[in-house]
Amino acid sequence: MVIKNIAICYNQGITHSVEVKDKLLNILSDKEISTSVLNIDSLSNGFDFVFVIGGDGTILKTARFYAKYHTPVFGVNLGRLGFLSQCSKEELENSVDKILSGNFIVQDRIMLQSGSYTALNDFVIKGCETGRTSRFSLKINEKYVCDYLADGIIISTPTGSTAYGLSAGGPVLTPSLNAFVIVPICPHTLSSRPIVVPDCEKITVCTDKKSKYSLTIDGQELYEFANEIVITKSNYTAKLALLESTEFYSVLRNKLHWSMPPAYIN
């Protein structure tokens, strides 16, 4: 792909983001690349490629926004876990050279849709009354599956399977799988286990009409709803730009210390 117009999206609420933004802007300016700087709260369209400076939450919000414009986003980590990011500030100039030389791939990541809401990682459904379990009824393609008595339910994409769903006991899915994971949070039945379903399925979660419930989107936005919620695959896919050397299982090992004995963890 030809890259002419680049945006730098940064989260000024995160330490060192302004410093890294300035460094990246100088690198691109030296290469005479047309560049615009955007704050995470004022995103706009019209770019061939977007650098995102911040944590995974910043990348998730930016990727959701640019999905409908088919614009690739590339994450720059600022020192924390940064599971979705591709480089650190020390690797910035080398990464820019690779991108401008075309040594990267764009990976489509499926997303979830519920009404006007879209999630790249997950939808989380919980009762609004804290400290109490809730009853949920799960249907797939209008067919009754089971009831859960639990603290909540996570509906996750493969991208989100390494996030809240993993912490709640769900499986890790490779990003290329066309599937969703349904994970009950702290269920009161030991036989309640996560379910992996094809991404073409329609997932319906019915709730107790006497109570209020919340839908959280990628851990960022929260909305109240009642009765039931329907979740399907979004018509859009997030476009994550990955360096050609990136390999999913090495990310698991290096960032999540996957299956490493405690003695090997720094």
Q: Which domains does the chain have, with CATH numbers?
A: 5-102 (3.40.50.10330), 112-235 (2.60.200.30)
State residue 125's pLDDT score.
Answer: 96
State residue 219's pLDDT score.
Answer: 93
pTM (predicted TM-score): 0.90
* E strand spans, 157-227: 179-185, 195-198, 203-207, 213-217, 221-225
Measured distance CA(152)–CA(207) in Å, rounded: 11
State residue 81's pLDDT score.
Answer: 63
| Tokens encoding 141 | 């393609």
Candidates 102, 98, 71, 101; CA nearest to 87 is 98
Contacts of 239 (CB under 8 A, 6+ apart): 63, 66, 67, 70, 71, 72, 73, 106, 107, 108, 109
Measured distance CA(51)–CA(8) in Å, rounded: 5
Give the three-class secondary structure for 94.
Answer: helix
State residue 264's pLDDT score.
Answer: 54
Residues involved in catalysis: 56
Query: At 36, which amino acid appears?
Result: S
State residue 162's pLDDT score.
Answer: 92
State residue 266's pLDDT score.
Answer: 55
The region that residue 115 occupies, defined by phi over 0 for left and psi between -120 and 50 for alpha, beta otherwise, is left
Q: What angle do CA 96, 77, 112 make, to 5 degrees?
A: 100
Query: At 214, which amino acid appears?
Result: S
State residue 2's pLDDT score.
Answer: 76
Per-residue pLDDT of the chain (266 residues; tens, 9 = 90+): 778 899 999 998 887 899 999 999 999 999 999 899 999 999 999 999 999 998 889 999 999 999 999 999 999 988 666 678 888 888 899 999 999 999 999 999 999 999 999 999 999 999 887 777 889 999 999 999 999 999 999 999 999 999 999 999 999 999 999 999 999 999 988 888 999 999 999 999 998 877 789 999 999 989 988 889 999 999 999 999 998 777 788 778 877 777 766 555 55
